[in-house]
Amino acid sequence: MAESDRTTRRQFLATAGGAALGAVSLVHVGPVHATPDTMKAAIRDIVNGAAVRPGKVKLDVPPLVENGNTVPLTVTVTSPMSDADHVVSIHIFNEKNPQPNVGNFYISPRAGRAQIAMRIRLADTQTLTAIAKLSDGSFWSATADVVVTLAACTEEAT
Amino acid sequence: MASALINVPATARRGDIIEIKTLMSHIMETGFRHTVTGEAIPRNIITNFTCRYNGDEVFRADLFPAFSANPFISFFTVATESGKFEFQWIGDNGFQETASASITVT
Amino acid sequence: MKRLRNISLSLLAVIAFTSLIEAAEIAPGERRSGASFMSVETQAMQNDATANPGMLGVLDGEVLWTRKPAAGRACADCHGDASSMRGVAVRYPAFDDKLNRPVDLEQRVNLCRVDHQQLPPLADESRDLLALTALIGRQSQGMPIETGADSRLQAFIDKGRDAFMRRQGQLNLACTNCHDDNWDKRLAGSAITQAHPTGYPVYRLEWQGLGSLKRRLRNCMIGVRTQPYSADAPEMVELELYLMSRARGMASETPAVRP
């Protein structure tokens, strides 16, 4: 079940949004997608060899989402956000979308609070990772598991 | 015609931490989809977003295809002085949109 | 796709079977908006006007409302501020005196385009038509749905009701089998809901955009593998009319968000 679910989700995300293109029918070709390994590589690019410690970061995402097209996500980092001690950037990664990166966010002590929210696409049930870079150069992270369910009565005839 | 929905409090006290919410209309075509005849649908996404507060950058983001259509981003900033927030979205195919909102800080 | 399809088909078989004992229509006190079946996160997205993506359509509608055609008048020139449309959407589909039949809100907007602006009608599901109906619908947000109060509509409502009750498609299912008899159950992860059209046009996450009630109904018709009605088919308006009158008294949520 898990295996075929996965194929279905990918196809589903590949076809979603087709309506915006009017009559063009869409099919998904080829197994292009991120893997836990490509996610690790994308994380390496950001942290540049530094250690990433779990902690300080909170990743809020519904454990079960109704539609993978629009998944609300909030990242909060515990930080005084002072000139001496603050969050410099926040980076979000996923394992199973076609690409491992979701977004990079750059903030400063002027933010006052190290919290960002957004809506993302998830092609499948998977684990998300958020990493925060602090002003002392250290990296902190959190992960969250998300289960994506399939919408009923869509425009796909099959 | 691209619409943006921006939410900035009209007034705040100096030092208040305020939330800014932005919603931009955009298809965010991933570039990973194909038509039935096998042609790749080219990527068409917003790649960058910035917010300036009286000219100073207070928030910046790089966006990837995993962002939902009509991208929504919210973040915080400290209300320091009255003035203007300027928002800019930049993307594929020369996409460039701006919006602004003013705030009175007491 | 196969595996999931099997799951949903077996679920459908259960639905078809249990519904041999026809359940009654939903009692007024038991009616629930589709919103109440959604996750708290999706409800929050709908309820926060500063974060509801359907509001982008309303903003587009405001621009169109005041836009002057090359010759002729803008919507605003005849109707004034969009707030003059308060209470209008909750009466649609409504009986049109000239056509002597019910028209839905999209058709009403297009009548103004053609009769009063000398412009071609806007295409079904076009961005502009959705934007204008979202703007008009938004003016009635929170107001109770009144559709069907006009007695001239009764014969059309009855036809829509017949269609709702009639088994159809390869799966031989009627709308009522899911939406009256099994609204407390789930189908492949989705809540079935009672099918009250309280928030159209809705921003459906599945569509990643706004869509009309007609588009939503076509999705359900494809779901039971029957040929969907075309946008201008009288049957389509009758079904919309029945659904809206069935939701009479419920609060309008336009622009709602749905999964």
Mean pLDDT within A58-73: 92
**CB proximity B68 to C under 8 Å:** yes
User: Looking at the predicted structure, is the pLDDT value of residue A158 above 70?
Assistant: no
Cβ–Cβ below 8 Å for A103 and B74: no
Annotated catalytic residue C220: yes
Mean pLDDT within C156-177: 94
Mean pLDDT within B64-80: 97
Q: For C219, which of A1, A5, A153 is closest by C-beta distance?
A: A153
Predicted local confidence at residue A31, as pLDDT: 39
Question: Which residues are bridge partners to B99 per DSSP?
Answer: B87
C148 in helix, strand or coil? coil
> Residue C65 and residue C68: Cα distance in Å, rounded?
8
Predicted local confidence at residue C217, as pLDDT: 96
Predicted local confidence at residue A40, as pLDDT: 85
How far the first Cα of chain C sits from its last, in Å, is 20
- Closest chain B C-alpha to A29 CA, distance in angstroms: 7
- A91: confidence class by pLDDT, cuts 50, 70, 90: very high
Decide which of A98 and A139 is more confident. Answer: A139
Q: For B64, which of A102, A117, A119 is closest by C-beta distance?
A: A102
User: Looking at the predicted structure, is the pLDDT value of residue C188 above 80?
Assistant: no
- A150: confidence class by pLDDT, cuts 50, 70, 90: low
Cβ–Cβ below 8 Å for A158 and C5: yes
- Closest chain A C-alpha to C91 CA, distance in angstroms: 27
> Residue C67 and residue C87: Cα distance in Å, rounded?
23
Predicted local confidence at residue C12, as pLDDT: 56
Q: Which of B48, B49, B14, B82 has the alpha carbon at shortest distance from A112? A: B14
Q: What is the DSSP letter of C229?
A: P
- A23: confidence class by pLDDT, cuts 50, 70, 90: very low
Q: Are C245 and C147 in contact (CB under 8 A)?
A: yes
Cβ–Cβ below 8 Å for C55 and B25: no
- A65: confidence class by pLDDT, cuts 50, 70, 90: confident
User: Looking at the predicted structure, is the pLDDT value of residue C139 above 90?
Assistant: yes
Please give the single-letter amino acid code of residue C216: R
Predicted local confidence at residue C239, as pLDDT: 97
Least confident of A32-41, C155-164, C195-204, C241-250: A32-41
pTM of the model: 0.89
Q: How many CB atoms lie within 10 A of CB C61?
A: 25
Q: Which structure tokens are listed for C77? A: 């020139």
Q: Are C31 and C250 in contact (CB under 8 A)?
A: yes
Domains along chain B?
4-33+41-105 (2.60.40.10)
Cβ–Cβ below 8 Å for B33 and A28: yes
Q: Which of C10, C48, B36 has the alpha carbon at shortest distance from A18? A: B36
Predicted local confidence at residue A98, as pLDDT: 80
Please give the residue of chain C at the shortest CA–CA distance from A149.
C189
C220 in helix, strand or coil? helix
Predicted local confidence at residue A153, as pLDDT: 60
**What are the chain C neighbours of B45 within 8 Å (beta carbons)?**
none
Predicted local confidence at residue A154, as pLDDT: 61
**What are the chain C neighbours of B70 within 8 Å (beta carbons)?**
53, 56, 208-209
- Closest chain A C-alpha to C259 CA, distance in angstroms: 6
Predicted local confidence at residue A123, as pLDDT: 82
**Which positions in chain C have a beta carbon within 8 angstroms of at least one beta carbon in chain A?**
1-5, 8, 38-39, 41-42, 44-45, 53, 125, 187-190, 192, 205-209, 211, 218-220, 222-223, 225, 259
- The average confidence (pLDDT) of chain B is 96
Q: For A24, which of B35, B68, B73 is closest by C-beta distance?
A: B35
Please give the residue of chain A at the shortest CA–CA distance from C203.
A70
- A contact chains, 3+ CB pairs < 8 A: B, C
Query: Sign of the CA dihedral B61, B66, B70, B75?
Result: negative
**What are the chain C neighbours of B72 within 8 Å (beta carbons)?**
51, 53
Pick the CATH number of C30-259 from 3.30.1490.20, 3.40.50.720, 1.10.760.10, 2.40.128.110: 1.10.760.10
User: Looking at the predicted structure, is the pLDDT value of residue C143 above 50?
Assistant: yes
Decide which of C7 and C143 is more confident. Answer: C143
Question: Which residues are bridge partners to A131 per DSSP?
Answer: A91, A141
Write the pLDDT tens digit of every residue in C107-128.
999 999 999 999 999 999 999 9
- C60: confidence class by pLDDT, cuts 50, 70, 90: very high
User: Looking at the predicted structure, is the pLDDT value of residue C13 above 80?
Assistant: no
User: Looking at the predicted structure, is the pLDDT value of residue C11 above 70?
Assistant: no
**CB proximity B21 to C under 8 Å:** yes
User: Looking at the predicted structure, is the pLDDT value of residue C16 above 70?
Assistant: no
Least confident of B74-78, C13-17, C36-40: C13-17
Predicted local confidence at residue C131, as pLDDT: 98
Q: Are A122 and A71 in contact (CB under 8 A)?
A: yes
- The average confidence (pLDDT) of chain C is 91
Predicted local confidence at residue A21, as pLDDT: 28
**CB proximity A26 to B under 8 Å:** yes
Predicted local confidence at residue A8, as pLDDT: 33
Q: Are C256 and C199 in contact (CB under 8 A)?
A: yes
ipTM: 0.95
Predicted local confidence at residue A151, as pLDDT: 57
Q: For C63, which of B1, B5, B7 is closest by C-beta distance?
A: B1
Predicted local confidence at residue A152, as pLDDT: 57
Least confident of A64-68, A105-109, C65-69: A64-68
Predicted local confidence at residue A155, as pLDDT: 62
**What are the chain B neighbours of C63 within 8 Å (beta carbons)?**
1, 3
> Residue A68 and residue A123: Cα distance in Å, rounded?
6
Q: For B5, which of C50, C63, C209 is closest by C-beta distance?
A: C50
Domain boundaries, chain C: 30-259
Predicted local confidence at residue B6, as pLDDT: 96
- C140: confidence class by pLDDT, cuts 50, 70, 90: very high
Q: Which structure tokens are listed for C199? A: 């928030």
Least confident of A149-153, B19-23, C192-196: A149-153
Predicted local confidence at residue C223, as pLDDT: 84
A138 in helix, strand or coil? coil
User: Looking at the predicted structure, is the pLDDT value of residue C168 above 80?
Assistant: yes
Predicted local confidence at residue A125, as pLDDT: 87
Q: Which of B4, B87, B95, B89 has the alpha carbon at shortest distance from B44? A: B95
User: Looking at the predicted structure, is the pLDDT value of residue B93 above 60?
Assistant: yes
